Amino acid sequence: MRAIRTFAAVVLLAVGAAAQAQTDALPSWNDGAAKQAIVAFVKDTTTQGSANFVPPAERIATFDQDGTLWVEHPMYSQVMYCLEHVPDVVAKKPELKNVEPFKTVLSGNREAIAKLPMNDLIKILAATLTGMPVETFQAEVKKWLAEAKDPRWKRPYTDLTYLPMKEVLEYLRANGFKTYIVTGGGQDFVRVYAEGVYGIPPEQVVGTAGGTKYGYAKDGKPFLTKEPKLLLNDNDAGKPEGIHLMIGRRPVAAFGNSTGDQQMLEYTKAGDGARLSMLVLHDDEKREYAYGPAQGLPATKVGTFTQALYDEAKKDGWVVISMKDDWKRIFAFEP
Amino acid sequence: MRAIRTFAAVVLLAVGAAAQAQTDALPSWNDGAAKQAIVAFVKDTTTQGSANFVPPAERIATFDQDGTLWVEHPMYSQVMYCLEHVPDVVAKKPELKNVEPFKTVLSGNREAIAKLPMNDLIKILAATLTGMPVETFQAEVKKWLAEAKDPRWKRPYTDLTYLPMKEVLEYLRANGFKTYIVTGGGQDFVRVYAEGVYGIPPEQVVGTAGGTKYGYAKDGKPFLTKEPKLLLNDNDAGKPEGIHLMIGRRPVAAFGNSTGDQQMLEYTKAGDGARLSMLVLHDDEKREYAYGPAQGLPATKVGTFTQALYDEAKKDGWVVISMKDDWKRIFAFEP
């Protein structure tokens, strides 16, 4: 009888340990305030009877992409995509060859290219995309992503996604949350790979969006082409405005990393009940990059994490994620 | 032994009959080409191994609302909502009292009101909504819907939804389809009740959408207010354009009832594989209204079903639903 009891106790212990292991849905996170905040939030909002219980239909979580889900340094990959397409564009419209900003891009002068203002990048974007059928654009992005490589790691951009954040996406979905990308990047661009890379379907990608135009091909088949008209600038105040337009509910959790995410994080935190607003701090010079406020780096094209943003996070109760301290692993390809 | 076999046969027959009964997911439809087309389409796209099998993630079905999911005659209910709010607006801005179109609306002259052009209705809409916090708008619509009654049936507008179409929504969802409303009506308006009435969450309602503006209340809390800027006119070519913006995939099935749905139905039908485009024909003067092409009715504010649209449906292989012949019951409140 004692033997049986002992055996049962051992089995129970083993089962308990297995359950324990299974419940660590965030193995790439170090134990700390950030990880604890995520786990506590999920428990608080999904446990029946909890004062902060959120019905499944209202479990909306939004994630910025560049710098929050994948590397944004030294330049957004979508900007890379457009710059690399300039030779094609100029081949079709040779009159652009000696016109700025195309001239600078064609010069190959990296320093000069890096200094191009956002306005010039938008000109390049419009020239690259206007009149292109949306399916052609999708096919081209797919092809580019399969071939293009990040200059530092020499790997496809889609490899440079943060493993700890992918675990958060999975963990939230396993607990009934609908995960959205809310990016300043191009909506049509991100939608091409979001399903394969993040498990997020196109209809759950909100981004900077241009217009399209409905028309008919010679055989009478209808199709859509890209237009230079900007419908949604999904940055800053454009993020909560885009969330209202595309989702129609205030998120319960939001994740960002720069001043472009400030309003989304504020808007999320201001809702009733338990809310989670998190900010990824790039403070890991060795394993990724360091460009948080403490680093005193010059402003770059990448999202800026200012001291003011850090102060607001502390004051408003957002949780700051230190890449250096909170993440055990950053990329899936690294041990 | 024979008795057992007979018993088994009877049981099998009974089980078979029960299964048969269970598979009629469309009990409010008469057997006919329209019902058969829906059932055949679902079987064709969801049966593993079928040449036209559509993976669950791509099963997108879009539905127009006014005239397709609920009654649109004699006037869109959202227009009713706005007209009924004019006295409130004028109370706050008395200078509008003697200005058109407000003057006509305040006169109560039904005939004159019915003749107001769309441009005037948009003016009323802008005056009624601009600067209103989105949550206030949601609460007001909810309140109005609970009290307002359709002039003919003396019932809440939300009772005037078509039972056969609600069965189609359920049937498609039960087969892994994601159902969307794609309406010329106001997106924010329809989102208030779509979940309760159709089982369609706010994020699956695409409609005519105005801008919003992010700002802060006196206590520092951020909120969004409605702006007069039009972001998406979700009619005609605006429907496929809105689908691309908000969903990012071409639907596999689409349902409409007027020229405003033409492009959505074309766009859906032009995709590869099995596609279902359906058109509701209002030809039941007795149980609802008759304003199809055969009726020779004058153009009204409600969606128009022209002879040209009917001809395109026949040529392009869309399925026309006759309310009179295909629908056994129209409303849930009728026997």
Q: Are A44 and A136 in contact (CB under 8 A)?
A: no
Rounded Cα distance between A290 and A280, Å, is 11
Which residues of chain A, if any, have pLDDT below 50?
1, 12, 15-21, 298-302
Q: Quick check: helix, strand or coil at residue A258?
A: coil
- Whether residue B32 is predicted with pLDDT greater than 80 in this model: the reply is yes
Taking residue B22's Cβ as centre, other Cβ atoms within 10 Å add up to: 8
User: Which residue from B minimizes the CA distance to A201?
Assistant: B57
Say what the pLDDT of residue B146 is.
95
Say what the pLDDT of residue B52 is.
97
Does the beta-carbon distance from B221 to A270 stay under 8 Å? Answer: yes
Q: Are A275 and A252 in contact (CB under 8 A)?
A: yes
Give this prediction's pTM. 0.90
The more confidently predicted of residues B268 and B298 is B268
Say what the pLDDT of residue B16 is.
46
Q: List all residues of chain A from 226 to 265 with a beta carbon under 8 Å from chain B.
A: 231-232, 237, 240-241, 244-249, 263
Integer CA distances (angstroms), B313 to B172, B251, B266, B295, B306, in order: 22, 17, 9, 18, 11
- Which ranges of chain A would DSSP assign to H, the alpha helix? 2-23, 33-46, 77-84, 86-92, 102-107, 110-114, 118-129, 134-147, 163-174, 187-198, 238-246, 262-269, 307-316, 323-326
Rounded Cα distance between A221 and A131, Å, is 16
User: Which residue from A minimizes the CA distance to B138?
Assistant: A248
CA A155 to chain centre: 18
Instruction: Write the pLDDT tens digit of every residue in B18-31.
Output: 444 457 999 999 99
Say what the pLDDT of residue A305 is.
80
Instruction: Write the pLDDT tens digit of every residue in B71-129.
Output: 998 778 888 888 888 888 889 889 989 988 999 989 988 888 878 887 888 788 888 88
Place of tokens 């005609």: B236
Nearest CA of chain A to the CA of B273: how many Å? 14
User: Which residue from B minimizes the CA distance to A206?
Assistant: B246
Say what the pLDDT of residue B252 is.
98
Q: Quick check: helix, strand or coil at residue A69?
A: coil
Nearest to A248 among B203, B231, B240 (CB): B203
Rounded Cα distance between A129 and A209, Å, is 12
Q: Where are the beta strands (DSSP E) in chain B?
A: 60-63, 178-186, 205-216, 222-232, 253-256, 276-281, 319-322
Taking residue A254's Cβ as centre, other Cβ atoms within 10 Å add up to: 30
Inform me whether the C-beta atom of residue B188 falls under 8 Å from chain A C-beta atoms.
yes
Inform me whether the C-beta atom of residue B113 falls under 8 Å from chain A C-beta atoms.
no
Q: What is the dihedral of CA B269, B270, B271, B277, to 10 degrees?
A: 0
Place of tokens 């492009």: B263
Say what the pLDDT of residue A80 is.
83
Nearest CA of chain B to the CA of A214: how many Å? 6
A57 contacts in chain B (CB < 8 Å): 195, 201
CA A303 to chain centre: 12
Any idea what DSSP says for residue A272? Answer: S
Q: Token pair for residue B78?
A: 């959202």
Does the beta-carbon distance from B212 to A178 stay under 8 Å? Answer: no
Taking residue A156's Cβ as centre, other Cβ atoms within 10 Å add up to: 16
ipTM: 0.89
Inform me whether the C-beta atom of residue A160 falls under 8 Å from chain B C-beta atoms.
no
> Which residues lie below 8 Å from residue A97, measured CB to CB, with a gap of 6+?
A90, A103, A106
Taking residue A60's Cβ as centre, other Cβ atoms within 10 Å add up to: 25
Rounded Cα distance between B322 and B335, Å, is 19
Say what the pLDDT of residue B115 is.
82
Q: List all residues of chain B from 161 to 180 with a beta carbon under 8 Å from chain A.
A: 178
Rounded Cα distance between B320 and A49, Å, is 49
Q: Is the peptide bond before A201 cis (omega within 30 degrees of 0)?
A: no
Integer CA distances (angstroms), B42 to A269, B169, B250, in order: 42, 12, 17
Closest by CA position to B112, among listed B100, B123, B126, B97: B100
